[in-house]
Amino acid sequence: MKLSELLFLTVIFILLSSIDSQLNFFLTGFLIVSNITYLFLCYLCFRNPQKINSLFGAYIGFIIDLHQNVFFGLHASLFTLTILLINYNYFRLRMFSTLQTTLVFSFFTAFFVGFKSILLTTMNFQYLVVFLSFFSAFIAYLFVPSLGKLLIKRTKL
C-alpha cells in the first residue's frame, strides 16, 4: 500500500469514527450502537485482502483508540482479529451471497459491540444493546459497499 493511500484511508477512518461518535450520542436512548467504521473496515478487507492485512488493522485501531480516547489497544486488537478471520475465510466468504455476507459481518459487529461493551462498561452490560446493534449493522452494511465505492473511487485500492 502506498503512503498516499494509507494517509487517505487514515483520514477516512477518522471521519467515520467521528460520525460514529455523533451517531452513538443520538442513538443511546434507543440502545443502538453504530459501527460504520468497523463495517467499513470489514468491507475493505473483504474487497481487497491482499492490501488490507492485520498490520493495517492494528494501525487503524491504534489511531481510533487515540481518537476516541479509550484504552490503548482495544480497537487495534479487535480490528486485527477481524482482519485475520476475514483473510483466513476469504474464499468461503466469497461463495456466500450478499445477504449471507451481510449476516456474517453483522455477527462480527455484534461480537465487536459485545466485547467492547464488556471491557468498557462492565457493570452496565446489556444484551439488548448487542441484539439491536446486530440489526442496525445488518441495515448499515447494506449501504456500506456503495459508501466504500464512493470513498475509494479515486484510489486504486
- Percent of the chain whose pLDDT exceeds 90: 53
Reduced to 3 DSSP states, what percent helix, strand and coil does the chain have, rounded to the nearest 5?
80, 0, 20
pLDDT tens digits, 119-152: 887 777 888 889 998 999 999 998 888 888 887 7
For the cut 70, the answer to whether the pLDDT of residue 155 exceeds it is: no
As a whole number of angstroms, the distance between CA 130 and CA 111 comes to 8
For the cut 90, the answer to whether the pLDDT of residue 18 exceeds it is: yes
**What pLDDT is stored for residue 45 in this prediction?**
93
CA end-to-end distance (rounded Å), the chain:
8
11-44 as b/e: b if 16+ CB within 10 A: ebbbebbeebeebeeebeeeebbbbbbbbbbbbb
CA 138 to chain CA centroid, nearest Å: 12
Cell of 69: 480516547
Distances (CA, A) of 145 to 91, 101, 113, 129, 153: 19, 12, 21, 24, 12
**What pLDDT is stored for residue 116 in this prediction?**
87
Please tell me the pTM assigned to this model: 0.90
As a whole number of angstroms, the distance between CA 40 and CA 130 comes to 19
67-85 as b/e: b if 16+ CB within 10 A: eeeeeeebbbbbbbbbbeb
